[in-house]
Amino acid sequence: MINQKIVNIVLKAASNTAKDIVITEILKHIALDYDYNDKKASHVLEILADPESLILIKDINLDYIKEHLNLLMYNPDNYIIKDIKVIYVNNIAGYAGIEYKYLEKINEDRGDIDFSETHTNISFIDNPEILKDVKS
């Protein structure tokens, strides 16, 4: 990622017209991807109007995800899943990055097989219940 100090310098130097152009281009970019009912674009506009609507790692309800393991993987009953954590939030694409370890239950007594580490993305646009306080 570009150093935040550089980003801050460019933002201070950029004109409002340039910022408007960039925001418009970001919204076009979102529109070219899947964005049912313009929910992702609406979230970006919401952040512009109210910076408090920015979703942060602390806003993700990890307990809800632990209770609904099907959000992480298909057929979770066949696995032991542990060490679930939120590693990032993407407010433009509208998802939280979740990292976890898993082991097939069929292998739980084998000493030569260890947990595998992986990650997945869960959309807070499509699954607003993963947010601690559902923000609309």
Instruction: Break the chain into its structural domains and give their ranges.
Output: 4-53, 57-130
Q: In angstroms, how far is the first alpha carbon of the chain from the final one?
A: 29
Write out residues in the chain with pLDDT < 50, as ranges. 135-136
In tens, the pLDDT along 98-122 reads 999 999 999 988 888 999 999 999 9
**pTM score:** 0.86
Q: How far apart are CA 55 and CA 129, in angstroms?
A: 13
